[in-house]
Amino acid sequence: MFSLASGIYKQLTEKVEYNVIIVGPDNAGKSTFVENAKNICSISRNLVKKNLKKIHTTVGLNLGKIERNDMIINFWDLGGQEKLRSLWKNYINEAHGIVYVIDASDKDRFEEAKNTILYC
């Protein structure tokens, strides 16, 4: 009987988790995207918002999380430096989604951005 009640409770309270990788060239705005998403989703929760001007370049991996009623979204913000791009493929199989970020105001890097997507 306890296992039945436990199973029902777990099903009612369990949150579905999604993993989303954020990739793109360095300085494209990937970390800013993650922080903005967290800020937007925390408006009604009175959480402390990060000052977007204080975001530093990601070296390696930056983790972000949004937790809503029955869902958790884990953001894996992967560094965009050329030497780190070969690591992106290690995260693809665990991801439910990919967000590819480019800086639309940096036209000089469009060709690099186009080639960088091949690392995914």
Helices (H), ranges, the chain: 2-13, 30-41, 89-92, 110-116
pTM of the complete model = 0.76
Q: Is 31 marked within a binding site?
A: yes
103 compared with 57, residue with greater pLDDT: 103
Question: Cβ-count burial of 112 within 10 angstroms (0-12 exposed, 13-18 middle, 19+ buried)?
Answer: middle
User: Do the annotations mark residue 28 as ligand-binding?
Assistant: yes
15-119 CATH: 3.40.50.300
| 58 annotated ligand-binding residue | yes
Higher pLDDT, 43 or 7: 7
The annotation status of 30 as a binding-site residue, yes or no, is: yes
Of the candidate ranges 15-19, 60-64, 72-76, 98-102, the one whose mean pLDDT is the lowest? 60-64
Return the structure tokens found at 39: 């800020």
| Secondary structure of residue 28 in the 3-state scheme | coil
Q: Helix, strand or coil for residue 4?
A: helix
Q: How far apart are CA 67 and CA 83, in angstroms?
A: 32
